[in-house]
């Protein structure tokens, strides 16, 4: 494992014999015989050290929230690790002979590539299960308690909660009570000024209304999404801020963001484990303020359902081996590498899917435990957390037990959200919602919805006729992104990479035309390689200086 000083961010490094831990954004409580340190936001906040390792196991299993907790019992020479019940706070581990390593980032493991991780990354845009892009490095499962005997090196693990515990009871009243309880618990551990990442969607609006009802002062952070729906997302967020009298800061990303140092920081923080190029969420990280920042990840994954079984789900979300991305992968990688990635991914996907029922409820759980955990959660709990304490509504077992108990018919077309809001938070329904690329309204007649829809239709129509736009003096691409200059950065180092097709690398270095998809795959591969080789920042800092 590489030393923590390889990072540009403050990291906590802990070594005890053959055990090593590297964790960012760490808080600790140190005693004479025992020590406790944690990352994230356990609910409630730990204030005392358990008297022994077995008491630590009992206490940690009862915590709510999103966190990792580590505990050292020096007298019994036991080390305890506990992950949050959803597994949203990233934690990775690896064993190498008698050595045991834990880390909040995969960049501290200097290993080869994992074909399962890369296959799922190419097909789905995220890794599945506990796999990563790095071989022999796994995510610690959700709701895990790991006890390491530092003398015998014996490792015992157990799971203290699972989605099989989810109740079948469906009650809007219980849902509201558990939601309010979860936000009260989160507010109680806040350690700085409150901010809310605001959008035009359901989740941030729900949190905004509940924080206002709790008389919890906060400031909105709104980032323009100008390239979609005539910026309806930001326009609705600002309208909500005016309606609820919320002060806010508004940001418009620079069109060359994906050629900037800020984007390099994002890639480094994420370990390049998630797709990010030209995605909106990648830009948000640069605007996350120092303080306590609220994110709506859990409501977004629990109050909305997925239609049908896995065939329907994967038909629109998974790239097949015949799709262009896999053709590009066969161009980029050496003979047999892409095939190995695909087959390894298919075997792992079959095993993962077998854990769920083949219906809408099973697909919703799969989505929550895979896409939500491995693609969406790293943004707030791994990247944004470099700057801020991250809190979210719904990080309690009571809330999850209730919310996940509703079936697809209850949740389809935002029915559960509308039913809940109309009964308990009607002020949230005065404005339409931006949901993905769609605009959604609750009331049949809503002038703001009609105006936004009309503007969006004109916007999308005119974009198809660039000459007409030019004649009208319109430039709707004013805030669209320019091509990342990092796509053009190639050096001779990659001639020695045995996993790459050297004919492809030669063509690239000679300036020959390469398909955009192949170029993007090569971009992610070399970023991941350089981050895990420890020379990422140095290489790209030189490129920026000389560019």
CATH number of the domain encompassing residue 90:
3.60.20.10
pLDDT interval class at 246 (50, 70, 90): very high
**Based on the domain organization, do 154 and 20 belong to the same domain?**
yes
Which has the minimum average pLDDT: 3-12, 239-248, 260-269, 536-545?
3-12
The predicted pLDDT at position 232 comes to: 84
Give the integer Cα–Cα distance in Å for 356 and 13: 38
The predicted pLDDT at position 12 comes to: 60
The predicted pLDDT at position 3 comes to: 38
**452 φ/ψ angles, rounded to the nearest 5 degrees:** -65, -40
Give the integer Cα–Cα distance in Å for 51 and 31: 10
Q: Which helix (H) or strand (E) holds 103?
A: strand 99-103
Residue 342 maps to a domain: no
Percent of the chain with pLDDT over 70: 87
Contacts of 354 (CB under 8 A, 6+ apart): none
Sheet holding 99-103, edge to edge: 11-16, 19-24, 99-103, 92-96, 138-139
CB burial class (10 A; 0-12, 13-18, 19+) of residue 469? Answer: middle
Give the integer Cα–Cα distance in Å for 305 and 408: 5
Task: Give me the half-sphere count of Cα atoms (radius 13 Å) on the Cβ side of residue 333.
Answer: 23
Mean pLDDT value of segment 226-242: 86
**Based on the domain organization, do 145 and 241 belong to the same domain?**
no
Picking from 408, 428, 443, the residue at the C-terminal end of a domain is 443
Which residue, among 263, 264, 337, has the nearest Cα to 521 in the 3D structure?
Answer: 337
Picking from 143, 164, 185, the residue at the C-terminal end of a domain is 164
The predicted pLDDT at position 4 comes to: 36
Residue 503 maps to a domain: no
Which has the minimum average pLDDT: 1-10, 358-367, 411-420, 429-438?
1-10
Q: What's the first-to-final CA gap in the chain, in angstroms?
A: 33
pLDDT interval class at 169 (50, 70, 90): low
Query: Which comes out higher in pLDDT, residue 22 or 241?
Result: 241
Residue 130 maps to a domain: no
The predicted pLDDT at position 11 comes to: 57
Which has the minimum average pLDDT: 29-38, 248-257, 346-355?
29-38
Mean pLDDT value of segment 340-368: 95
The predicted pLDDT at position 25 comes to: 61
Q: Which two tokens stand for residue 539?
A: 């290489």
Give the integer Cα–Cα distance in Å for 299 and 304: 8
**Domain range spanning residue 20?**
4-111+135-164
Q: Is the pLDDT of residue 479 over 60?
A: no
Which has the minimum average pLDDT: 97-101, 143-147, 318-322, 357-361?
97-101
Q: Is the pLDDT of residue 433 over 60?
A: yes
Q: Which residues pair with 93 in a beta bridge?
A: 102, 138
DSSP letter, residue 370 = I
Nearest 10 degrees: CA dihedral of 486, 490, 494, 500? 70
The predicted pLDDT at position 335 comes to: 95
Residue 239 sits in a domain whose CATH number is 3.40.50.620
Q: Which residues pair with 144 in a beta bridge?
A: 159
Residue 527 maps to a domain: no
Give the integer Cα–Cα distance in Å for 9 and 151: 32
Percent of the chain with pLDDT over 90: 61
Three-state secondary-structure class, residue 82 = strand
Mean pLDDT value of segment 319-344: 96
Strand 99-103 relative to strand 194-198: parallel, antiparallel, unpaired?
unpaired
pLDDT interval class at 165 (50, 70, 90): low
Q: Is the pLDDT of residue 256 over 50?
A: yes
Give the integer Cα–Cα distance in Å for 219 and 321: 46
Q: Which residues pair with 250 in a beta bridge?
A: 222
pLDDT interval class at 467 (50, 70, 90): confident
**Based on the domain organization, do 17 and 159 belong to the same domain?**
yes
Residue 248 maps to a domain: yes
Picking from 421, 443, 465, the residue at the C-terminal end of a domain is 443
pLDDT interval class at 217 (50, 70, 90): very high
**Based on the domain organization, do 433 and 289 belong to the same domain?**
yes
Q: Is the pLDDT of residue 351 over 60?
A: yes
The answer to whether the beta carbons of residues 130 and 143 sit under 8 Å apart is no
Residue 85 maps to a domain: yes
Which has the minimum average pLDDT: 191-195, 318-322, 500-504, 539-543?
539-543
Q: How many domains is the chain partitioned into structurally?
A: 2
Three-state secondary-structure class, residue 334 = coil
**Based on the domain organization, do 152 and 216 belong to the same domain?**
no
Give the integer Cα–Cα distance in Å for 149 and 154: 5
Give the integer Cα–Cα distance in Å for 299 and 433: 15
Strand 194-198 relative to strand 218-223: parallel, antiparallel, unpaired?
parallel
**Based on the domain organization, do 282 and 156 belong to the same domain?**
no
Strand 194-198 relative to strand 292-295: parallel, antiparallel, unpaired?
parallel
Q: Is the pLDDT of residue 5 over 60?
A: no
Contacts of 372 (CB under 8 A, 6+ apart): 88, 297, 301
Mean pLDDT value of segment 399-418: 90
**Based on the domain organization, do 73 and 184 belong to the same domain?**
no
**Based on the domain organization, do 155 and 301 belong to the same domain?**
no
Residue 116 maps to a domain: no
The predicted pLDDT at position 545 comes to: 47
Q: Which helix (H) or strand (E) holds 341?
A: helix 337-353
**Based on the domain organization, do 36 and 182 belong to the same domain?**
no
**Based on the domain organization, do 223 and 195 belong to the same domain?**
yes
Provide Rg for the chain, Cα atoms.
24
Query: 274-314: per-residue pLDDT in tens?
Result: 899 999 899 999 999 999 999 999 998 899 888 889 999 99
Which residue, among 200, 187, 222, 196, has the nearest Cα to 395 in the 3D structure?
Answer: 187
Residue 458 maps to a domain: no
The predicted pLDDT at position 30 comes to: 74
The predicted pLDDT at position 499 comes to: 93
Question: What is the reported pTM?
Answer: 0.90
Beta-strand ranges (E) seen in 224-310 are 248-251, 292-295
Residue-wise DSSP of 169-223: ---HHHHHHHHHHHHHHHHHT--S-EEEEE-SSHHHHHHHHHHHHTT--EEEEEE
Q: Give residue for tokens 């099989």.
A: 164
Three-state secondary-structure class, residue 285 = helix
Which has the minimum average pLDDT: 236-250, 319-333, 494-508?
494-508
Q: Which two tokens stand for residue 186?
A: 């989160």
Q: What average pLDDT does the structure give for the chain? A: 87
Mean pLDDT value of segment 342-348: 98
Which residue, among 220, 215, 181, 178, has the nearest Cα to 199 in the 3D structure?
Answer: 220
**Based on the domain organization, do 260 and 150 belong to the same domain?**
no
Q: Percent helix, strand, coil in the chain (nearest 5)?
A: 45, 20, 35
Most confident of 149-163, 248-262, 337-351, 525-539: 337-351
Strand 138-139 relative to strand 99-103: parallel, antiparallel, unpaired?
unpaired
Contacts of 3 (CB under 8 A, 6+ apart): 13
Give the integer Cα–Cα distance in Å for 505 and 189: 51
Q: Is the pLDDT of residue 2 over 60?
A: no
The predicted pLDDT at position 6 comes to: 42
Query: 56-65: per-residue pLDDT in tens?
Result: 999 999 999 9
Contacts of 270 (CB under 8 A, 6+ apart): 276, 378, 379, 382, 383
Q: Is the pLDDT of residue 10 over 60?
A: no
Q: Give residue for tokens 């994992």.
A: 114
Query: Which comes out higher in pLDDT, residue 228 or 73?
Result: 73
The answer to whether the beta carbons of residues 367 and 14 sit under 8 Å apart is no
Task: Give me the half-sphere count of Cα atoms (radius 13 Å) on the Cβ side of residue 521.
Answer: 28
**Based on the domain organization, do 188 and 156 belong to the same domain?**
no
Query: 79-127: per-residue pLDDT in tens?
Result: 999 999 999 999 999 988 888 899 999 988 877 899 999 999 999 999 9
Q: Which two tokens stand for residue 309?
A: 């079984």
Three-state secondary-structure class, residue 392 = strand
């Amino acid at each position: 494992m590489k030393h923590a000083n390889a990072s540009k961010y403050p990291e906590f490094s802990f070594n005890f014999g053959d055990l090593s831990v590297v964790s960012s954004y760490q808080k600790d409580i140190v005693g004479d015989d025992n020590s406790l340190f944690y990352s994230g936001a356990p609910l409630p906040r730990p204030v005392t050290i358990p008297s022994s390792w077995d008491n630590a196991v009992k206490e940690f299993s009862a915590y709510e929230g999103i966190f990792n907790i580590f505990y050292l019992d020096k007298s019994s020479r036991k080390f305890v690790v506990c992950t949050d019940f959803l597994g949203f706070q990233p934690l990775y581990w690896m064993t190498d002979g008698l050595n045991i390593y834990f880390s909040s980032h995969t960049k501290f493991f200097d290993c080869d590539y994992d074909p399962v991780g890369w296959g799922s990354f190419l097909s789905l845009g995220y890794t599945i299960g506990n796999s990563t892009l790095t071989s022999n490095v796994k995510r610690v499962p959700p709701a895990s308690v790991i006890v390491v005997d530092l003398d015998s090196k014996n490792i015992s693990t157990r799971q203290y909660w699972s989605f099989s515990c989810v109740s079948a009871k469906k009650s809007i009243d219980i849902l509201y009570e558990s939601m309010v309880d979860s936000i009260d618990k989160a507010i109680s551990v806040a350690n700085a000024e409150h901010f809310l990442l605001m959008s035009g969607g359901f989740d941030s609006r729900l949190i905004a209304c509940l924080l206002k009802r709790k008389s919890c002062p906060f400031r909105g952070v709104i980032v323009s999404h100008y390239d979609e729906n005539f910026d309806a997302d930001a326009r609705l967020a600002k309208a909500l801020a005016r309606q609820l009298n919320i002060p806010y800061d508004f940001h418009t990303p620079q069109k060359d963001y994906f050629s900037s140092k800020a984007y390099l920081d994002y890639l480094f923080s994420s370990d390049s484990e998630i797709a990010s190029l030209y995605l909106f969420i990648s830009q948000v990280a640069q605007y996350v303020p120092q303080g306590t920042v609220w994110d709506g990840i859990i409501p977004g994954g629990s109050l909305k359902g997925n239609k049908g079984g896995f065939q329907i789900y994967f038909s629109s979300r998974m790239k097949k081996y015949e799709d262009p991305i896999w053709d590009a992968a066969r161009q980029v990688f050496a003979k047999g590498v892409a095939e190995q990635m695909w087959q390894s991914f298919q075997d792992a996907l079959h095993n993962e899917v077998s854990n769920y029922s083949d219906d809408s409820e099973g697909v919703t759980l799969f989505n929550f435990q895979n896409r939500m955990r491995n693609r969406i959660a790293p943004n707030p709990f791994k990247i944004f957390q470099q700057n801020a304490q991250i809190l979210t509504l719904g990080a309690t077992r009571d809330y999850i037990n209730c919310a996940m108990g509703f079936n697809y018919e209850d949740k389809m077309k935002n029915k559960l959200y509308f039913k809940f809001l109309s009964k308990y938070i009607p002020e949230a329904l005065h404005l339409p919602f931006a949901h993905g690329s769609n605009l959604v309204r609750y009331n049949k007649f809503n002038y703001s919805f009609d105006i936004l829809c009309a503007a969006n239709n004109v916007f999308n129509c005119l974009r198809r006729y660039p000459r007409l736009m030019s004649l009208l003096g319109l430039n709707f691409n004013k805030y669209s992104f320019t091509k990342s200059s990092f796509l053009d950065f190639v050096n001779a180092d990659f001639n020695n990479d045995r996993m790459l097709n050297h004919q492809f690398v030669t063509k690239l270095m000679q300036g020959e035309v390469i398909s955009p998809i192949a170029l993007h795959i090569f971009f992610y591969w070399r970023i991941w390689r350089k981050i895990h080789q420890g020379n990422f920042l140095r290489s790209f800092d030189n490129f920026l200086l000389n560019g």
